[in-house]
Amino acid sequence: MANATNENNNPLLKEFDFPPFDSIDASHVRPGMRTLLKKLDSDLSELEKNVAPSWPKLVEPLEKMMDKLTVVWGAVNHLKAVKDTTELRSAIEEIQPEKVEFDLKLGQSKPIYEAFKAIRESPDWAGLSDAQKRIVESSIKEAVLSGVSLDDSKREEFNKIQQELTKLSQKFDENVLDATKKFEKLITDKKEIEGLPATSLGLAAQTASSKGHENATAENGPWMITLDAPSFMSVMQHAKNRALREEIYRAYISRASSGELDNTPIIEQILKLRSEKAKLLGYNNYAEVSMATKMATVSKAEELLEKLRSASWNAAVQDMEDLRQFAKSQGAPEADELTHWDTTFWSERLRESKYEINEEELRPYFSLPKVMEGLFSLVKMLFGIDVEAADGIAPVWNADVRFYRIKDSAGKPISYFYFDPYSRPAEKRGGAWMDEVVARSRILSDDKTSVRLPVAHMVCNQMPPVGDKPSLMTFREVETVFHEFGHALQHMLTKQDEGLVAGIRGIEWDAVELPSQFMENWCYHRDTLMSIAKHYETGECLPEEIYQKLLAARTFRAGSLSIRQLKFATVDLELHSKYVPGGSESIYDVDRRVSEKTQVIPPLPEDRFLCSFSHIFAGGYAAGYYSYKWAEVLSADAFSAFEDAGLHDDKAVRETGHRFRETILALGGGKDPLEVFVEFRGREPSPEPLLRHNGLNFGRLVSHRQSESSTALTMTRFVLIVLIVLCSFQSNVRCSSVGSSTKQLRFNRKKGEFKILQVADMHYADGRKTPCEDVLPEQFAHCTDLNTSIFLIRMIQAEKPDLIVFTGDNIFGHDATDAAASMNAAFAPAIASGIPWAAVLGNHDQQSTLRREGVMKYIVGMKHTMSQLNPEGFDVIDGFGNYNLEVHGVEGSSFMNKSILNLYFLDSGDYSTVPSIRGYGWIKASQQFWFQQTSKKLQNSFKAPGLAYFHIPLPEYAKLDSSSFTGVKQEAGISSASVNSGFFSTIAGSGDVKAVFTGHDHLNDFCGNLTGIHLCYAGGFGYHAYGKAGWSRRARVVVVSLEKGSRGDWGAVKSIKTWKRLDDKNLTAIDGQVLWMES
């Protein structure tokens, strides 16, 4: 013990190229981690004192700190997963709060947070690489999610929650492992295990021998059955003894659900604390917190899951009917009442019968050495790398662990990895996973000129060698190895030198499964499969007819397998978005409710699978399990690129593989994953390859029987129609484009202009089912929301704006059955154009299925939008959708890094919430304060003109008349708030706003000057909005033009002009005006 506590002898504190896994033990954890945390705490204090908004003085020292902790703590926790002991658990449990305390201190460091924000706002921002910008943006976001913006009392509460959540997740995981280890069933009568194949009998005898039955043999027993995956699955697939299958199944689905290992109260407390954490951060639920760092939003994830569920359900029902009929044909007495412990057994029998494939008879063709040899040959062809054994270079934690080195085509080492393949239920947790050991980094290289090479570990739990036989694998275990190696490749083949976003670091969680699931596809590629499928004794290749049967069996029970994953993903989202801890519904009520739509056979009353659902309660998948399905779309489409190139064309496969390596595998977290995908594929992802690979009907997504159709699916069909219409208008329309939410707006180089299209009051509802209002009698029969979409398409084509601004009442909530679906359709033409767009809310947007905040959050999550929920740094601000956008000068000009046009967007509210004041809402003092501060800050940098957009007109609009405006005033009055909050005086005082643009009053389209500020309506745009028969719907266009220098270079803003276009045959332009000219 004395040596362990000596810092000089503690392996955790030594410098190493590879962690000393063979010498780290529990006694090193407490002293080693405390010494490290003390050093890091000192380093953090020093950084905070000397921090500056530059890469060398902020990011580089921060990376060194974070990396040291990640590597050392990662090694400790890795050992807990693969070499668990009571002593190691105790040490980790004791030191964990201190580690979490440091994490929180680092995450909530205001000096670091402010320094990152200063980098983002500095003139140097434009010169940063994509990866550096991602580091800055993600660091700011992570700081906010870590509670940096909370006041002291809330931050203290947040930190307590975080500490408790860490403890609970750890305890949950330990309970699952202990409950799994606890169950043992010794069998002495061979009749009880009739049907189990020889490999399973050998494993069961080997397990019995390890438990003290030294004379156990595969032939004579005794045999030990456990809940470890190889043992459990073997019984469920092959045991003819139905009573045994039932006993093992019931034990498995009730793990960690009773006694001292009961995870039920732990789950309830985890969900309660996660909900409280979300509320502290200003979110409605924990799912929204989780999605804040993912590609998807809650509504998008729910939409994807429902679409796939609908496409899979009928197939799953048919799967069950096929099983019943087959079991009946085999004379099974249980045929008419098949239940959970029967489906796997009879599925395996049906597969054997239908495809003449016996999973166990295939094992001899899939020995681990041959599988790895074939896998390494495949990646050599695809990615130009060599994988070679390097055992002995790095210490390992078990004699079965292998170590490998990867070299590039020039023979230069580029990465390393460990592989721990076998199940060890006494000390190793179940499942399969990959994680980093160290990440690639320029800063952390020895000489600071090259890079530190990445190291990964891969862990599986397949059947170990039995006797003199090598590990013989099921085909599913082969797929698992390929899957985990896909993860490892993304970490090891990265070319990203910024350590904080290298490899798997910084990649959105719902994109990390892309390379892993992509690799699984190669298991069905003929040349690849034939290279690994060689009989371990004879060397005979897998017969061609068996390969063809494997291929045919790929879609066997695809509906059932899909619906199972969808159940997990759906219950995860439900628990983290809708479940109310302590409410009338228990966690098991939620599970049963979800199961009604996702399980053909209802769960047993005692089913407690949630108690072992480690992915969401002890892993990183909370409100993220959907990402398996999300990434399946990406991975299937990525593999289809190889299919398109020709899988039999080696040259084309190598070229496509090179492109995959240089994009998906090389760019790491340094670039938005959707942009990376488009760079590889040449377009955005399509779900068609996934459904084709799964043997499901793509048409089901868009052509359900009318009796089964939902509003969301109806709207989806409508969106597809709109996009097709848009694509047919002009060949150069970008119907597939990368999201523009982080794009810098800037003036057009060719014309020196920036053009804005304003769309007011679309009043979108349910698409083609929604009739028009106030049109001519001959138009009424065929007029729907579709007319609004066509008008928007025509305007985009005619004006080709640089920004589209939607000024509220985008949907008409009272008639929109599904708010998300209505918004998808309403904004579809803008999204399909690829043009950046921004939106504010009106007084009707929140009257459907989403509240006001939910509507704005949904908009913020949409493609190509520049919209923001609210400004960062302003903890208290009324409304949702207050933000500003900067428009920079022409690329290459002296103004390229300056905002020379400032755009302000505000939430003008819906209705008064003050009982004594009736009528519409107004812009509150908190919003005006934000505007004043933002305007002042921008003008201190450069005095640029500004434009303001919101929905409800200011009371000052009433001061204009026909002598002072251009356009028409057809409404009885101005529908402003009955309260004048003084915002006109505020913007007048700011000095930069030259014009205000609103909607709300559909029959007013005038624009007039009031004391130097133009107050402008757009006029009603939408056909489901009230209007005037015979009076055309219309939109407003604003063009801002730059001064051109004597040498032809573009300068600052010279003029702001506007006009309107009518939705008539010629899109007639009317009412041109000059709003402002530089004097």
Distance CA 906, CA 904 (A): 7
- The three-state secondary structure class of 396 is coil
Residue 371 has pLDDT above 60, yes or no: yes
Model pLDDT, residue 308: 79
Phi, psi of 1050 (to 5 degrees): -85, 140
Q: What percent of the chain has pLDDT over 70?
A: 94
User: Of 96, 116, 149, which residue constitutes the final position of a domain?
Assistant: 149
Using CA atoms in the order 774, 780, 784, 788, what is the torsion angle rounded to 10 degrees? Answer: -50
DSSP 718-730: HHHHHHHHHHHH-
Distance CA 945, CA 1055 (A): 10
Mean pLDDT value across residues 513-541 = 93
How long a stretch of residues is the chain?
1079
Mean of per-residue pLDDT scores for the chain:
90
928 and 986 Cβ atoms separated by less than 8 Å: yes
User: Of 122, 149, 176, which residue constitutes the final position of a domain?
Assistant: 149
pLDDT in tens, 575-624: 999 999 989 999 999 999 999 999 999 999 999 999 999 999 998 889 99
Across-strand partners of 965?
A: 1008
Distance CA 863, CA 842 (A): 21
Maximum CA pair distance of the chain? 106
Residue 864 has pLDDT above 60, yes or no: yes
The answer to whether position 543 is within a domain reads yes
The answer to whether position 284 is within a domain reads no
pLDDT in tens, 233-271: 999 999 999 999 999 999 999 999 999 999 999 999 999
The answer to whether position 185 is within a domain reads no
The answer to whether position 279 is within a domain reads no
3-class secondary structure per residue, 775-823: CCHHHHCCCEHHHHHHHHHHHHHHHCCCEEEEECCCECHHHCCCHHHHH
For the chain, give me the number of helices (H) and strands (E)? 35, 21
Closest CA to 451 of 438, 464, 460: 438
Mean pLDDT value across residues 966-992 = 94
Q: What percent of the chain has pLDDT over 90?
A: 73
Kindly list the catalytic residues: 484
Q: Output the domain CATH number for residue 27.
A: 1.10.1370.40
The answer to whether position 205 is within a domain reads no
Distance CA 509, CA 138 (A): 13
Closest CA to 19 of 493, 401, 322, 331: 401
Distance CA 360, CA 238 (A): 9
The answer to whether position 1003 is within a domain reads yes
Interstrand relation of 1013-1017 and 1007-1010 (parallel, antiparallel or unpaired): antiparallel
* The token pair that represents 790 in the structure block: 């066509």
E strand intervals along 168-315: 184-187, 223-226
Structure confidence at residue 724 as a pLDDT band (50, 70, 90): very low
Distance CA 984, CA 975 (A): 16
CA 911, 914, 915, 919 dihedral sign is negative
E strand intervals along 113-251: 184-187, 223-226
The answer to whether position 752 is within a domain reads yes
pLDDT in tens, 909-929: 999 888 888 899 999 999 999
Q: How many domains are there within the chain?
A: 3
Model pLDDT, residue 692: 64
User: Of 106, 122, 149, which residue constitutes the final position of a domain?
Assistant: 149
Residue 712 has pLDDT above 60, yes or no: no
1037 and 757 Cβ atoms separated by less than 8 Å: yes
Mean pLDDT value across residues 657-683 = 93
The answer to whether position 848 is within a domain reads yes
* The token pair that represents 623 in the structure block: 């409100």
Structure confidence at residue 731 as a pLDDT band (50, 70, 90): very low
Neighbours of 361 (CB within 10 A): 12
Sheet strands side by side (includes 803-807): 837-840, 803-807, 753-759, 1034-1044, 1050-1062, 1069-1077
340-355 and 242-253 helices, crossing angle to 10°: 120
Domain of 482 in residue numbering reads as: 363-554
Interstrand relation of 455-462 and 413-422 (parallel, antiparallel or unpaired): parallel
Mean pLDDT value across residues 421-429 = 89
Across-strand partners of 185?
A: 225
Distance CA 807, CA 1002 (A): 12
Residue 837: burial class (beta carbons within 10 Å; 0-12, 13-18, 19+): buried
Q: Output the domain CATH number for residue 1038.
A: 3.60.21.10
Distance CA 233, CA 249 (A): 10
Distance CA 872, CA 116 (A): 13
